[in-house]
Amino acid sequence: MCGIVGYVGNEHAASILIEGLKKLEYRGYDSAGIAVINNKEINMIKASGKIKNLCEKTDDGKSISGTIGIAHTRWATHGAPNDANAHPHVSNNKKFAVVHNGIIENYMELKKELLDKGYKFNSETDTEVIVHLLDMYYDKDFKIALMKTISRLEGSYALGVICKDYPDTMFAAMLNSPLIIGVGVCENYFASDVTALVQRTKNVIYIEEGDFAEISSNTILIYSNTGEPVTREKTRIVWDVEAAEKGGYEHFMLKEIMEQPRAIKSAIEPRIKKGCISFEDSNIPTDLLEGISRISITACGSAYHAACAGKYMIEELARIPVDVDLASEFRYRRPIIDKSTLVIVISQSGETADTIAALKEAKENGASVLAIVNVVGSAISKLADYVIYTWAGPEIAVATTKGYTTQVTVLCLLSVYLAEKNKKIDAETALRLTSEIQKIPQLAQRAIDLNPQIPYLAKKYHNERSMFFIGRNTDYAVCLEGSLKLKEISYIHSEAYAAGELKHGTIALIDNDRLVVALACNDRLLDKLISNIREVKARGAKVLGVITERSTKIIPETDDIIYIPVGETLFNAVVQVIPLQMFAYYVALHNGCDIDKPKNLAKSVTVE
Ligand code: AGP
């Protein structure tokens, strides 16, 4: 996720744009840039690293004159975070400049077409194809050039463009990526969200999917994707600046929980080509499994919990033995790995010291390493042999939510991909499972919508001295994550336990008023889970059942229920965890905890 902002008016554009970027920094902060038209020329400055580097380069924008411009703060998806890959990108003749948030999924074929036509590329980004298409289609009409350009783009874009032949007009366009128009007095704006504008104007226009806008200081013309003029209502923002940064949510964690359907979709869509799974956007060789006899997955914290879910999925489908290790243990137990082992490391930040060390241990022992990470250009993404990005966008809250669910989503894709490569499933089964994966984003949204009772449940149980999460198979893997979420933001002790294991000792802790959260979303094991629920009920426990809409027979065994929409059982982990994240969030809210920055924790543990 990146942040874009544009300004046209009578004031010093660069200063206003820089201020807007600062408010968008939470959306991406690995590089930034600005382009302003002055004396009919485009003046552009870019800087890798945080926005403060751009501020230093431009004296907070004061060194760039002009009253119309665009700016961008980047969360890298294609190409490392450096000056060359930072936006804006300009055409070879310096006539056009563009800023973009989203992913142009067909950029490779567009880039080939443009290279064949002699265009020179100066970056590794997908975005750069936009500015060369504009140049290719430009015949003195900016609007026509833009319409032809966006008609060629597949994927998602919120983009802003300036042209030096039009020193009073900028264009903005949107598809599957947020963009709003800001309405000022003798000045107008576009931005990724209200955060960048709300200090300048509270009057905004939410344009619709496929719309594009022609913006000058006194006029805003909006067109549908067919080029027909349309009218979109002006809205008054009631949020303050701080609230706006969180999209109107009280905490980043809640915002990121609610973003998950979109984040999961971002992790899936670029990997599905004609119904089949393809990792061509990653550098995975087609013979990845050549000579591989087993897989070892290693990670920390929530990433480790994602690995636990991945073990069940890969072994079930691909029939390849999978070990899962805490990275902090892996590196010190002299793991038995060699070139016949595929090591997978998982990390949201890509900077976790224990995971980096485990990766190095694996490579020293001759293993190939595949990384599943969120941050492009992170240490792990550079050290691994192959990288699959989760494309969750920046995750600000310390407690991961979309970071975890997109990791599990990638593992769902990978399990089907490996199963087909390993000839354990036929093409028809692969197509069916792939279509099940494509349903996950809407199932994730349904998991949110199905459970308006969660704040009430959190209030009912927020004083528990400790909780148990029990489940079987992938439900157990989700218990691990649900338990950690509760612990790390509400400070209530909890334990995740394989439901069948409880009776081997720990059930001694179960007594009156102990809350047991029972995950029962695996039909095949439902009767076993019911027995486990009866075991703890018999010892006085209260039971919060997490069940699918299908497993209603369990309801009489429970005190309260959380519903999970029915999907492919093996891929349930992505969806099941979301109500548990919400439960932990609202319990912590009742307990007055610092939800986005819990005590003792860091977003990325870069020390041992
Ligand atoms: C999860 O909510 C925690 N913040 C923590 O367990 C985290 O998952 C762990 O430190 C691993 O971080 P990484 O994914 O960035 O490597």
User: Matching CATH topology for 254-438 and 447-590?
Assistant: yes
> Could you tell me the distance, in angstroms and rounded to a whole number, from the CA of residue 586 to the centre of ligand 1?
20
Ligand 1: residues within 6 Å at CB?
300-303, 347-349, 352, 355, 398-400, 488, 604-605
Question: Residue 216: how many CB atoms within 10 A of its CB?
Answer: 17
Which atom of ligand 1 approaches the CA of 403 most closely? 14
The predicted pLDDT at position 600 comes to: 78
The predicted pLDDT at position 13 comes to: 98
> Could you tell me the distance, in angstroms and rounded to a whole number, from the CA of residue 381 to the centre of ligand 1?
16
The predicted pLDDT at position 240 comes to: 67
CB 432 within 8 A of CB 471: no
What is the torsional sign of CA 283, 413, 351, 358?
negative
> Tell me, which fold does domain 254-438 have in CATH?
Rossmann fold (3.40.50)
The predicted pLDDT at position 527 comes to: 94
Alpha carbon distance 581, 569 (integer Å): 19
Which atom of ligand 1 approaches the CA of 603 most closely? 4
Read off the DSSP letter of residue 155. B
Read off the DSSP letter of residue 208. P
> Could you tell me the distance, in angstroms and rounded to a whole number, from the CA of residue 581 to the centre of ligand 1?
14
Read off the DSSP letter of residue 561. E
The predicted pLDDT at position 394 comes to: 80
- Name the closest-CA residue to atom 10, ligand 1: 301
pLDDT along the chain (608 residues), means of 10: 92 96 81 96 94 94 96 85 92 98 93 98 96 98 97 95 98 91 97 87 92 98 95 82 75 96 94 92 89 96 98 98 97 93 96 93 96 87 94 89 98 97 96 98 97 96 95 97 98 97 93 92 94 94 94 92 95 97 98 88 73
The predicted pLDDT at position 246 comes to: 81
> Could you tell me the distance, in angstroms and rounded to a whole number, from the CA of residue 585 to the centre of ligand 1?
17
Alpha carbon distance 102, 484 (integer Å): 31
- Listed by start position, the domains of the chain span 3-245, 254-438, 447-590
Closest residue by Cα to residue 197 from 16, 62, 447:
16
The predicted pLDDT at position 2 comes to: 83
Q: Which residue has the tokens 């991945």?
A: 310
Question: Annotated active-site positions, please?
Answer: 2, 603
Which mutation among 260, 302, 375, 607 tests ligand 1's pocket best, with the greatest number of atoms within 8 A of CB?
A: 302
The predicted pLDDT at position 169 comes to: 98
Q: Report the CATH architecture of 3-245.
A: 4-Layer Sandwich (3.60)
The predicted pLDDT at position 244 comes to: 61
**Claim: this prediction has a pTM higher than 0.85:** no
Phi first, then psi, for residue 398 (nearest 5°) are: -60, -40
What are the angstrom distances between the C-alpha of 578 and each of 134, 409, 479?
42, 13, 12
Residue 124 tokens, joined = 């590794």
- Name the closest-CA residue to atom 7, ligand 1: 301
Name, in order, each residue with C-beta under 8 angstroms of 531's C-beta and a sequence gap of 6 or more: none
Q: What is the CATH number of domain 447-590?
A: 3.40.50.10490
